Chains A and B, each alone.
Chain A
């Protein structure tokens, strides 16, 4: 039963991935706006039609659509993402140098976001003052409405220029990551906190909470021992969506703070109409999204025993 479920979910995930690849190929490689022509039709280069045709042949752009599709698909499967026309290097090389800094930023950002969201949700539950509670609970809807790039600029303005806590020029390696991490974390903490607050409110109405309270447990004890696990679990289901937000946030954050990474790579690719790079970024992010969702689906029964019996394992 479980094996069947596993195979079913994995098959679905692969199908979505294949479709994402095909859609991005059709959108980015077949439609007009040819990256090769944009670069080499430049009059300053003074290339004749024959030379351009040769360059196109070297990039494999003169073959039929179907051949290009097969070639690109096989390439992606073997980790060869094609050539960046503008930079003149393999796309995989650009990904290899730019992925680690973005992963580090995203890792720090998601950890900070989780911490912020949990603190906010539980603090708003534990506080005894109504005004503080409603103030804390309205914070997420405020943070959701803040443009990420503006938040970053405001943080630089206040923390670096007004308070002078973090130098703008040549901050330490980890010191320089503080503001980008906050910029990335705050907008992602907001939806997380909203869901947590809603889940906690929902779980608090359950009969077992009333039983625990009737037995004499304190509010704090009930919150940590009975409510926390039940409320935190459902937030796992939006991990994939939050990853997408994280990636989009990283693009903007890297632009604001002038950091190197996947975001600046994407920004350059769009600026130069380097479609091969953008397709690689799109496919890599879709892969991560599908993979995260698959892992969450498979891990959910491990964390939640009630689902295990339903699956029959």
Chain B
């Protein structure tokens, strides 16, 4: 029985790729938004050690990836392109409508129809990508940086620092994240940036909890003991061994949080706390289309489907990161 732990860490160092998961396993792979994976999985190798073969391993993994993963990356790439160069995808304006073309159903001229002001639905969707994506990125960045910092501090220092941080995390987790976001927004005021920060702050607690548990797990492993044993100083061991090995599941969670940040930001936009009206933010598009659901179904249906596609893609990638880890 004593050999199990050493073989586990050995397997992690050789970086053997796991076989493609079974069909059923993949179907349930996306973890629930509220559940942090609890199964201890062998740690991934430090990324720098294999930098020479990194490109080749990426190609191998890409060839073995299931089609749903390809699709997920495709969706995210398309939406990212929308955000970077919206003008390349549509010649219509997102904010100025064409007179006499109000509330038209989808057609060859207007792929996704027009709204009550004659604005092209597809153009508004394309130009809205940058608001939703940059908001989600900012939210994840806030949660990731603050949460990881708190988690690493709690996990590595221990003692009363850990107690204070983790009790604070408990308190933050006891308030539903939407209410927490609203509490931040009520102080900061409305706006795209403030909504993103509010969503980010609401996710700090879960990042901190996951990072702490990972740091505590890695700290107990043999190679960290060995690093300390061979004379490594606290800060150096933390930076070189503990942090890289703790980050893998944190990154997977960041991908998951990216999806839920898109959801939260569109919810805040729908409630009217995000971007102000002429902005084509996705949640706001749905809110504006709400007044026409009996006559113009395309105004609400399509932006919602885009949100669902992006969130599904982010969750799929997160599931692959959690499972693959090779």
Contact = CB atoms under 8 A, between A and B. Distances in A.
B5 to A, nearest CB: 23
Contacts of A245: 34, 176
Interface string A132-144: 0110011011101
B175 A141 contact: no
Interface in A112-164: 130, 133-134, 137-138, 140-142, 144-150, 153-154, 156-157, 161
Contacts of B297: 157
A148 B176 CA distance: 15
16 contacts: A16-B170, A16-B171, A16-B174, A23-B168, A28-B186, A134-B24, A138-B28, A147-B307, A150-B307, A241-B34, A245-B34, A247-B176, A251-B179, A271-B272, A282-B175, A290-B174
B21 to A, nearest CB: 12
Contact of B293 (A134, A157, A191, A194): A157
Contact of B168 (A19, A133, A138): A19
A86 to B, nearest CB: 12
Nearest to A287: B174
Contacts of A148: 267
Contacts of A144: 30, 32-33, 311, 315
Interface stretch (A53-61, A176-184, A273-281, A299-307): A273-281
Contacts of B326: none
Contacts of B33: 144, 191
Interface residues of B, number: 54
Contacts of A273: 186
Interface residues of A, number: 62
Question: Closest 8 CB pairs between A and B?
Answer: A244-B176, A248-B178, A191-B32, A150-B304, A141-B30, A145-B311, A138-B27, A19-B171
B286 A282 contact: no
A270 B190 CA distance: 10
Contact of B312 (A20, A142, A194, A270): A142
A185 interface: no
Interface string B34-68: 11000000000000000000000000000000000
A229 interface: no
Interface in B224-252: none
Contacts of B271: 149, 251-252, 255, 267, 270
Nearest to A21: B171
Contact of B179 (A32, A156, A247): A247
B187 A31 contact: yes
A150 B185 contact: no
A153 B175 contact: no
B171 A147 contact: no
B6 interface: no
Q: Name, among A144, A194, A198, A290, the residue most crowded by chain B CB atoms within 10 Å (CB to CB).
A: A144
A242 interface: yes
Contact of B259 (A16, A145, A255, A290): A145
Contact of A266 (B30, B179, B294): B179
B83 to A, nearest CB: 19
